[in-house]
A and B are shown apart, each in its own frame.
Chain A
Amino acid sequence: MWFEDLLISLKQQIVMIAPEHFRPVFSAMLSTIPILSAFGGLFAVITLVERKMLGRIQNRYGPNRVGPGGIFQPIADGIKMLTKEDIIPFSANQFLHLIAPLLLLVTAMLGLAVIPFGHKLVAVEFEAGILFFFAIGGAAELAVFIAGWASRNKYALLGSLRAIAQMISYEIPLVLSSVAVLMAAGSLSLPEVVEAQAGGIQSWYIWTPWGFLGCILFLIATLAEVNRSPFDIPEAESELIAGHMTEYSGFKYAIFFLAEFVAMFAMCALTATLFLGGFHAPLPILDFIPGPFWLFAKLILLVLLFIWIRGTMPRLRADQLMEFAWKFMLPMSVMNLVTTGVWISLGGGVFAWVVGAVMNAGAYFGWSRLLSQSSRVKPRVYRYAEETKANV
């Protein structure tokens, strides 16, 4: 608490310096600049960590040339990216080609605006904060399409269409599994969701049956939403070169990269907020450590989990990916909503816990058994090829 109060009073003091007319703008800047710089720094650190970790997973060193243990690698990367030639294809639509990465970055960063970093530490406090988050996330699809379409490249267009299809499909379980939390918290406002999980690790939503299933579904959907492995089909190098980023180079490419990471951070922050108690300490004794620390700790843990998954999981096939979204994720998240409803109507407690666990586990096992019975893993269907053959 003390840390947040300190920050807020500090901000009020600084705002007073500015002339009267510029105070709102100044205040907004004071709110956003720390967030943006913090995540920018985090981006640099995480890229290095990712490369190191992947290296360890693959039994090699990873970057170790620049600085001691390679810690200055991000700086070197940055310099390299900035000094590279910025190529715009001849037939590309120049304006759209330029605006796509910026739009993507803006949408990713806007999502951070509603994340509560600490007590009263939220850039914009919307009553429907989470709706804002998802609405802005939806705009990212458009940016991806613009990038793919403006490049005038078949691979880029195909990659962007794949990305859009994937993001739209996984947005549904994403939203539905977060609706469970909203039902339990009784509010669309993220600070209130966090408040509902106050009081130590045992009151985090992940310990409830619906929260557990919802968290897993949410994490899987998040992976797909930010095009991380094993859902990185839109950028599958072996199939599509680099998807919608094929025709980008230099600084614009770096912005894509940054946008992707910021989106991942935002989603991880949302996961932590919804299921892991947000900025609350796991134990009440640890409350003296400021909230932003805890949120970032949880966020980084989740990001490390993502990196770990990237290092271990093979990539899915496009048709399997869509089938997984529509045939498994969607029914499970709807079932999770039902369970949440039962939980709420039973008013919590051990009995509700057992009922919810039985419902969710039953749905999981029953449904997965049914699916595995009905559709054995089938060979990939080339519809185009088949039909031309039939026509000949």
Chain B
Amino acid sequence: MNLVFAIIALITLASAIAAMCLRNLVHCVLCLTVTFTGIAMTYLQLSAQFVGFSQIMVYVGAVSVLVIFALLMTRGGNELNLRDWNPRHWLIGLGTGLLTFGVMATGIFKSSLTRSAAPDSKTESVKTIGESLLNEYVLPLEALALLLTVALIGAALLAMPERKTASSPHSDRPQTKGDPTN
């Protein structure tokens, strides 16, 4: 049990770090997909099947593909330089990240909540989830439906080509102010 989890966690973390470090963007996304799959495996580990499958369906099936499409659509721009990491304060950023992790880890080890053992068997039933979605959480569910609709329309509108302006995807330079090279 713990061994399986350790392997999964290791793969997940490693691929997450790879996703945030690699130079090649497509590789980044593929690593990200592995991370998402690892997280789904963690859910299955925690005997949350429904959520795990949802995770695979949404993240592996949809979000990563979306990211890939976005990547392929934003190619060929005026990349400033080849260095992908932010050159100015990458050390500060890294430090902040490590500091955050340290603080969180300290908090986790200090907390008394984490001492309790898991109940022996806890099964998630799809029916119960559905019932609590439609009883207790029906209002958030409806709001979410609205949000998804709005997001769908909004994303389509945002990504639509702007016909009026001259800055079509194939024109050479933007007409907007702000020279990006300074």
Evaluate whether A134 and B57 lie within 8 angstroms (CB atoms) in the complex, with A127-B50, A149-B26 already known.
yes
Q: A127-B50, A131-B54 are in contact. Are A391 and B171 (CB under 8 A)?
A: yes
Q: Which residues of B contact A217 (CB under 8 A)?
A: none
B24 CB to nearest chain A CB (Å): 9
| B residues near A128, Cβ cutoff 8 Å | 49-50, 53, 126
Q: When each residue 131-165 of chain A gets 1 if its CB lies under 8 Å from chain B and 0 otherwise, what string results?
A: 11011111101100110010000000100010010
Q: Are A126 and B30 in contact (CB under 8 A)?
A: no
Closest to A138 in B: B61
How far is A49 from B127 in the complex, measured between Cα atoms in Å?
43
> What mask results when residues 63 to 91 of chain B are scored 1 for a CB within 8 Å of chain A, else 0?
01100110010000000000000000000
Q: Quick one: CB contact mask for A68-109 with B, threshold 8 Å, 1 for yes? A: 000000000000000000000000000010000000000000
Shortest Cβ distance from residue B110 to the other chain A in the assembled complex, whole angstroms = 37
A135 touches B61 (CB 8 A): yes
CA distance A387 to B167 in the complex (A): 11
Q: How far, in Å, is B119 (CB) from chain A's closest CB?
A: 19
Which residues of chain B are within 8 angstroms of A161 by Cβ–Cβ distance? Answer: 69, 72
Given the complex, which residues of B lie within 8 Å of A126, measured CB to CB? 49, 53
Bound Cα distance from A27 to B73, whole angstroms: 47
Provide the residues of chain B in CB contact with A391, threshold 8 Å: 168, 170-171
Closest residue of A by beta carbon distance from B26: A149
Is the beta-carbon distance between A131 and B65 smaller than 8 angstroms?
no
Interface string of A163-196 (1 = CB under 8 A from B): 0100010010000000000000001100000000
A26: shortest Cβ distance to chain B, in Å?
19
A388 neighbours in B (Cβ, 8 Å): 170
Least Cβ–Cβ distance between B169 and chain A, in angstroms: 8
Q: How far is the CB of A119 from chain B (nearest CB, A)?
A: 22
Contacts of A168 in B (CB 8 A): 62, 65
In the complex, how many residues of chain B place their beta carbon closer than 8 angstroms to a beta carbon of chain A?
24
Q: Which residues on B sit within 8 Å (CB–CB) of A139?
A: 56, 60-61
Is residue A384 contacting chain B, with contact meaning CB distance below 8 A?
yes
A134 neighbours in B (Cβ, 8 Å): 57, 61
B125 is an interface residue with CB less than 8 A from chain A: yes
On chain A, the residues within 8 Å of B170 by CB distance are 384, 387-388, 391
Inter-chain contact total with CB atoms closer than 8 Å: 68
Instruction: Please name all residues of chain B whose beta carbon is closer than 8 Å to the beta carbon of A141 when the two chains form the complex.
Output: 61, 65
Instruction: Report yes or no: A135 in contact with B57, Cβ–Cβ below 8 A.
Output: yes
Q: How many residues of A contact B (CB 8 A)?
A: 29
Interface flags, A298-339, vs B, CB<8A=1, else 0 = 000000000000000000000000000000000000000000
Most chain B CB atoms below 10 A, which of A136, A142, A157, A388: A142
* Known interface pairs A128-B49, A128-B50, A164-B65; A138-B126 also in contact (CB < 8 Å): no
Q: Is B33 an interface position by the 8 A CB rule?
A: yes
Residue in chain A with minimal CB distance to B54: A131
Name the residue on B nearest A171 (C-beta).
B61
Whether the pair B65, A142 counts as a contact (CB closer than 8 A) is yes
Contacts of A187 in B (CB 8 A): 126-127
List the A side residues contacting B50 at CB < 8 Å. Answer: 127-128, 131, 188
Give chain B interface residues in 10-33, CB to chain A under 8 Å.
Answer: 26, 30, 33
Q: Which residues of B contact A164 (CB under 8 A)?
A: 65, 68-69
Q: For A145, what are the chain B residues with a Cβ–Cβ distance below 8 Å?
A: 65, 68
Q: For window 354-392 of chain A, which residues contact chain B by CB distance below 8 Å?
A: 383-384, 387-388, 391
Closest Cβ of chain A to B157, distance in Å, is: 15
For A96, the closest partner residue in chain B by CB is: B30
By beta carbon, the residue of chain A nearest B57 is A135
Task: Tell whether, in the assembled complex, residue B65 and residue A188 are in contact, meaning their CB atoms are under 8 Å apart.
Answer: no
Known contacts A141-B65, A161-B72; A146 and B30 CB within 8 A of each other: yes
A383-B56 Cα distance, complex, nearest whole Å: 35
CB distance from B180 to the nearest CB of A (A): 22
Q: Which residue of B lies closest to A93 (CB)?
A: B27
Decide if B69 touches A138 in the complex (CB within 8 Å): no
B49 and A138 contacting across the interface, CB-CB below 8 Å? no
Assembled-state Cα–Cα distance A134/B61 (Å): 9
Of all chain B residues, the one with the shortest Cβ separation from A132 is B53
Q: Pick the contact of B125 from A127, A132, A383 — CB < 8 Å?
A: A127
Interchain nearest-CB distance for B128 vs A (Å): 11
Taken together as a complex, chains A and B put the C-alpha atoms of A24 and B23 apart, in Å, by: 42
Q: What is the bound-complex CA distance between A157 and B26, given in angstroms?
A: 13
Chain B hits for A137, CB < 8 A? 61
Interchain CA distance A240-B41 in the complex, whole Å: 37
Q: Please, which residue of chain B has its CB at the minimum distance from the CB of A126?
A: B49
A131/B57 in contact, CB under 8 A? yes
Contacts of A384 in B (CB 8 A): 170
Q: How far is the CB of B57 from chain A (nearest CB, A)?
A: 4
- Once the chains are docked, how many angstroms separate the CA of A33 from the CA of B43? 27
A-side residues, CB < 8 A to B, are 96, 126-128, 131-132, 134-139, 141-142, 145-146, 149, 157, 161, 164, 168, 171, 187-188, 383-384, 387-388, 391
What are 14 A-to-B residue pairs whose CB atoms are below 8 Å? A96-B30, A127-B50, A127-B126, A131-B53, A135-B53, A135-B54, A135-B57, A141-B61, A141-B65, A142-B33, A146-B30, A161-B69, A187-B126, A384-B170
